[in-house]
Structure 1
């Protein structure tokens, strides 16, 4: 039997053993865990799913299902959600097709098995996806090959088909001041945390998300690794992670083999400050350091990113973010972003961002111009389970398009969750 299959069996056996020992614990969730994960994480996504309210009421059926899931979670520690996401983009100037479109179906949830409702709570977190294209190019590749933008106009809408992005054990320690993840992880769940970083509901362009597109290692997800976050004081935290740089969510189990035989990893370390420890991503200042080993597809490298984002008056959310990279296969060697988010009403959010970046010559080739872009989006919470987000991106000097110095991208994104 191959080593990765053996490792998978060991992981599943550990989960099953934990269930047999602790599965009958029916305590309610009462302990406060000051979550240091980003908006992409399963825990943050489920919190948003459970608390948002829409402009329109579409019936009691889904509300009844919500209440049923909450009661089942309180009794068993298990909860599961699902959503379907669609994205359409069209460019005024392109080097290939002017239109790209993709969809993603996701199933995600958690199963708290150990010490539920206490400061040593532990359980399984999972997320399974089917990412697929509607057009010849999925949107992730369409930005590069269709528009000629040296970067990712959308990072998650590819054509991977079935994939496992999360399958890990989450454990709290020390009165829930320390949280550890171990298993198959997504590096964007904890790296360079930022409230508007989610490509599912906020900015599309990766320049406004994790690392401002300067983090190397190609942002592995579904890769074997470990993350630990800790509150050093009521306002200062640290987050450290180590993840297999060769991991792939399409064949996540192979990460057992590559992690232990090659040990080519992406390491991240972040130190941050917030006056609001219960909602730390709303008012946040941090610096993130990363380093990645050389792999078959990319050279080694390291870099820094930083972020200042601050909620003002429960409505306005200005930010200033940037990053620098010394290779490592990063999209950009330098990038700076600024902008605002504005909570218009309820869960409806307007976002405006401006970015300057310098493409990585080691990845895209020499002689490329600096790129300038702006993105505008408006997320409308149509109903409790329905979102719609029109968006615009304006690009000056798309570096891989020799025929145009400017292009406009019109986009629309929709999400339905249950």
Structure 2
């Protein structure tokens, strides 16, 4: 407990000191920062919130609030958004409940305190959530326990209650070509980045997200650690990060104790290539390596993931992604995903994905069949502040269902943000 208190005092002192020195800086954002974070990150989510355009206009009330928040940000460097997310899924064949539903309230934003509008910009990034279930099983647990599918049909809708997913300092260096995070971070914000990896607005199944379910899904967010990304040339970048595998977003402050006393960590390193200087995840090739130490939560292990995704003609977005793991507590030993997106930079997005995977026999035992799945979704931006996403998943050989070889999952997701 002593180390936790010391860590919190140091974090608070850094914020106060930074504000006292730089708090009067009210410059607007004028520096191009080539962001290498994925669509889950606070910065990317806020960009999406600001640029989406709905099919219907329902009045100027929330639009006026948007403009007021922008004016306040220009004066102070502080901006905050909030959203509420709901999801329901039902399976035609199951080993438990056929239906599951969950909801998530999120409050997220940033407070730029240092050098706003300069190449050396720094500030706090935060995200606080309340994740809760509507049914007996939340969606994250429903895949294995309800459907009998080894994997996560939805990775973020659990029953954690209140949690802190992000609370870190973000700093740019070297003409904004280097970005560093330090604090309570989420490894999926930077590892194996992919434009359609967000379970809030894109594919639901984790097989189409970080590591194609060969790593990332079982490692904590809101965990103490750091990340550094750097542009080596105009087209080549590297990203490295380290987090505490014993961290917990529901008790994030305990990370000061587990990180420094146990030092059991997950390390990631990625090297990538892009031709798009402003939105690098739209034309992207990369390879990601990871290694995890043995802990009470995970066995030691390592693995590699690769991704090729390339926007064609400002509309089509084909992708091919895969991963392989040597244990480390991964759900899959091997996994390959391919598919296509349409209009992914627009407000209405279509996605189709196919996946093959091999469950990890060290966790689930030998003799399990390979699993195959497909997911289709269509995100409809109804208004600027409301989106609705029907989706469907087809699963062949759900490994934990010994009675049925095929199941279909129908789902609907809704999100409202302010």
**Short-chain TM bin:** over 0.9
CA deviation after TM superposition for structure 1 residue 5, in Å: 2.1
Unaligned regions of 5+ residues in structure 1, if any? none
Superposition pairs of residues 350-389 of structure 1, within 5 angstroms: 350-389=350-389
Deviations 1:328-369 (A, max 9, x none): 000100000000001189410010000000000112222111
What is the match of residue 18 of structure 2? 18
Q: Which residue in the other structure is 1:67 paired with?
A: 67
Q: Report the equivalent of 1:127.
A: 127
| Whole-angstrom distance in 2 between the partners of 1:214 and 1:252 | 25
| Structure 2: gaps of 5 or more residues | none
Q: What's the CA shift for 1:219? A: 2.6
1:146-199 CA-to-partner distances (Å, cap 9, x unmatched) read 000001000000000000000000000000000000000000000000000000
Contact 1:287–1:306 (Cα < 8 Å) also in 2: yes
**Contact 2:155 2:217 (8 Å CA) reproduced:** no
SS of structure 2 residue aligned to 1:221: coil
> How far apart, CA to CA, are the structure 1 residues paired with 2:415 and 2:5?
35
Partner of 1:374, secondary structure, is strand
Task: Write the distance in 2 (CA, Å) between the matches of 1:3 and 1:233.
Answer: 40
Query: CA RMSD of the aligned region, Å?
Result: 1.0
- The residue number in structure 1 matching 2:290 is 290
Give the structure 1 partner of residue 94 of structure 2.
94
Residue in 1 aligned with 2:243? 243
Distance 2:216 2:353 in 1: 22
Q: Name the structure 2 match of 1:228.
A: 228
Q: For the Cα contact (< 8 Å) 1:216–1:331, is it kept in 2?
A: no
Change in Cα spacing, 1:247 to 1:348, as seen in structure 2 (3 Å) is same
CA positional deviation for 1:216:
5.6
Quote the residue 1:50 is aligned against: 50
In 2, distance between residues paired with 1:365 and 1:22?
Answer: 56
Residue 219 of structure 1 corresponds to 219
For 1:19 and 1:346, how far apart are their aligned partners in 2? Answer: 37
Between the aligned partners of 2:63 and 2:164, the Cα distance in structure 1 is 28
- The alpha-carbon deviation at position 24 of structure 1 amounts to 1.1
Q: For structure 1, which segment, 360-369 or 287-296, has the greater mean C-alpha deviation from structure 2 after superposition?
A: 360-369
Q: Distance in 2 between matches of 1:79 and 1:390?
A: 30
Alignment of 1:240-319 (within 5 A): 240-319=240-319
In the alignment, does 2:9 pair up with 1:5?
Answer: no
1: CA distance, partners of 2:268 / 2:19: 31
SS at match of 2:222: strand
| TM-score, reference length from structure 1 | 0.99
Sort the Cα spacing of 1:358 and 1:168 in 2 relative to 1 into closer, same or farther, 3 A.
same
Please state how far the C-alpha of 1:14 moved relative to its aligned partner.
1.0
Q: Give the 5 Å matches for 1:82-231.
A: 82-215=82-215, 218-231=218-231
Equivalent-residue separation in structure 2 for 1:322 and 1:208 (angstroms): 9
Q: Which residue of 2 aligns with 1:394?
A: 394
The answer as to 2:337 corresponding to 1:337 is: yes
Work out the CA distance in 2 between the residues paired with 1:50 and 1:288: 30
> Do the aligned partners of residues 168 and 400 (structure 1) sit closer, same or farther apart at CA in structure 2, a change above 3 Å counting?
same
2:27 corresponding residue in structure 1? 27
* Paired residues, number: 418
CA distance in 1, matches of 2:28, 2:137: 47
Note if contact 2:317-2:344 (Cα within 8 Å) is conserved in structure 1.
no
Does 2:62 match 1:78? Answer: no
* CA distance, structure 2, for counterparts of residue 114 and residue 18 of structure 1: 7
Maintained 8 Å contact 2:210/2:216 = no
How far does the alpha carbon of each residue in 1:111-154 deviate from its partner, in whole angstroms, 9 at most, with x for none?
00000000000000000000000000000001110000001000
CA distance in 2, matches of 1:20, 1:345: 39
Distance 2:413 2:188 in 1: 21
8 Å contact from structure 1 (residues 216, 328) kept in 2:
no
Q: For the residues of structure 1 that align with 2:13 and 2:339, how far apart are their CA atoms?
A: 47
Q: For 1:276-331, what per-residue CA distance to the aligned partner results, in whole angstroms no more than 9, with x for missing partners?
A: 02100000000000000001121100000000000000100000000000000001
Taking structure 2 as the reference length, what is the TM-score of the superposition?
Answer: 0.99
Q: Secondary structure at the match of 1:250?
A: helix
In the alignment, the residues of structure 2 paired with residue 417 and residue 405 of structure 1 have an alpha-carbon distance, to the nearest angstrom, of 39
